[in-house]
Amino acid sequence: MLILDCPNCGPRNAGEFRFGGEVNPRPQDPDSTGDGEWARYLYMRPNRMEFQAEWWYHRAGCGLWFLAERHTRTNQVRRTYLPRTASRDAQMLKTYLSDEASSDVDV
């Protein structure tokens, strides 16, 4: 059973939550973003078998959106946190963006 620790309500069964997808930062300047970058943003996912940051919504509880670091193979949840209080967000997004920039997509 997957247990998520809501930052507001505490540990709860995953059935109370809605998965919102992995963290995927929007392009910095949408007006000057090319088709290839939009395609990467909309359709490409790293699909790694490791920890990734994901959005979760506590639909059967407090209605809070928060982030969880979950291992995609084992479902182990390393931590849950609010985006504004996360000290590692900047580094995580920088790593994600550098990984995305190295992949080639033809549109």
What percent of the chain has a predicted confidence (pLDDT) above 90? Answer: 68
pTM: 0.72
Cβ(52)–Cβ(68) below 8 Å: no
Q: Which pLDDT score, from 0 to 100, does residue 48 have?
A: 87
Cβ(50)–Cβ(56) below 8 Å: no
pLDDT tens track for 12-43: 999 999 999 999 988 989 999 999 999 999 99
Amino acid type, 72: T
Which residue segments constitute the domains of the chain, with CATH numbers given?
Answer: 3-24+41-101 (3.30.2270.10)
- Residue 95 confidence class, pLDDT cut points 50, 70, 90: low
Q: Could you say which DSSP state residue 73 is in?
A: T
Length of the chain: 107
pLDDT tens track for 43-54: 998 888 999 999
